[in-house]
Amino acid sequence: MAIDVRAYLEAKADLDRRSLNREVLSVFGRRLKGKAKVRLLEVGCGTGVHLCRLAEVLGAKELELTGLEREVSLVRAAPELCRKRLESQGWSCWIEYRQAAPVLIGERGEQNLRLSFICADLWEFTSDSKWDAVCAHFFLDLVPVRQALFRTALWLEPQGLLYASANYDGGTFLFPPEEGFEANLLARYDASMEERRVAGEECGGARSARRLFSVLCQTGWHVLAYGSSDWNLTPVEGSYRAADRTVLLALLEMIASEGQTLDPAASSAWYQRRLAQLQQGELGMIIHQVDLVACRP
Ligand SMILES: C[S@@+](CC[C@H](N)C(=O)[O-])C[C@H]1O[C@@H](n2cnc3c(N)ncnc32)[C@H](O)[C@@H]1O
């Protein structure tokens, strides 16, 4: 990918905000309402964009937010990026360096916030702490779902919540529609996600939402709400919203790179055609994703 991960995560922030399923989010918020203090852990938090979004919508007087992320560079960048993001949301923020890792402190009206990041791998992270909710945003396609849920349950209070959003579910659609090579290319793109393995185990992959739903039902979780949170990367009157153009470019590159194993010449020609449409403000992409909130068994 020509764009680096950090820039990509920042570029998709507005798209994610627009795409979240409102009903699922409001069920999540309702379940936490009434608690004076909410403790929340996000696994695979990147630069903390989703944690800032949740700080925006959760009304608890005290918010204790923790992000778990294995990439050192993202964890280092996160506090300052979150400070700027939270200030734009009306929080007064500062970063305290007194502890081993920086802690971002925020105040907004009656609300207090404490946001910290842990640099660790999900599979190695251990904690005696318990959280009211564990969030996974744009993450479960990367890990074996059953094992991730097993660990999540250990970190949750009784009646604790899992809020899993932006779970890719096997649908990438490009506009204007094209016949021929593109169908094979998109099938290869999905297959590359299906081939992901962690310690030999199948990951959420291209069917992460359906896999998540099945595992939750099999392991006694109570699914409270779910619904689509598709990415609409479509031009509006010839213009792209926010940083959608950057996200589209990154996606075209990711898809085209999978075409190298199929037919490099056809893949390059496809990329150039779709890139020209992007430059003209004519390319659209709709990506099917699902949000879900569930209660611990
Ligand atoms: C697609 S990104 C999403 C980041 C963030 N949730 C967002 O949407 O802005 C997935 C993140 O999970 C992290 N990740 C992947 N596997 C992980 C693991 N086993 N433990 C901790 N973090 C992991 C990656 O480094 C990456 O930053």
Q: Which domains does the chain have, with CATH numbers?
A: 5-166+199-231+289-295 (3.40.50.150)
Q: b/e string for 69-91 if b means 16 or more Cβ within 10 A? A: bbbeebbebbbebbbebbeeeeb
pLDDT for 124-156, tens place per residue?
A: 999 989 999 999 999 999 999 999 999 999 999
Characterise 65 by phi-psi region: left (phi > 0), alpha (psi -120 to 50), beta (else). beta
Q: Which two tokens stand for residue 273?
A: 């055609």
- pLDDT, averaged across the chain: 96
pLDDT for 206-254, tens place per residue?
A: 999 999 999 999 999 999 999 999 999 999 999 999 999 999 999 999 9
Helices 181-194 and 264-279: angle between axes, nearest 10 degrees: 100
pLDDT for 252-274, tens place per residue?
A: 999 999 999 999 999 999 999 99
Q: The pTM is what?
A: 0.97
pLDDT at 49 over 90: yes
82 in ligand 1 pocket by Cβ < 6 Å?
Answer: no
Quick one: pLDDT at residue 38?
97
Q: How far is the CA of 143 from the centre of ligand 1 (A)?
A: 10
The pick from 43, 72, 139 for probing ligand 1's pocket by mutation, whose C-beta has the most ligand atoms within 8 angstroms, reads: 139
The pick from 6, 10, 12, 70 for probing ligand 1's pocket by mutation, whose C-beta has the most ligand atoms within 8 angstroms, reads: 70
Q: Which two tokens stand for residue 84?
A: 């700027």
139 in ligand 1 pocket by Cβ < 6 Å?
Answer: yes
Quick one: pLDDT at residue 99?
76
For residue 120, report the phi and psi dihedrals to the nearest 5 degrees: -160, 160
Nearest ligand 1 atom to the CA of 166 is 8
Quick one: pLDDT at residue 98?
78
Average pLDDT over residues 86-110: 93
Write the CA distances from 258 to 80, 182, 264, integer angstroms.
35, 11, 9
Contact 87, 94 (CB under 8 A): no
Quick one: pLDDT at residue 297?
84
Quick one: pLDDT at residue 1?
58
Contact 295, 176 (CB under 8 A): no
107 in ligand 1 pocket by Cβ < 6 Å?
Answer: no
Nearest ligand 1 atom to the CA of 139 is 10
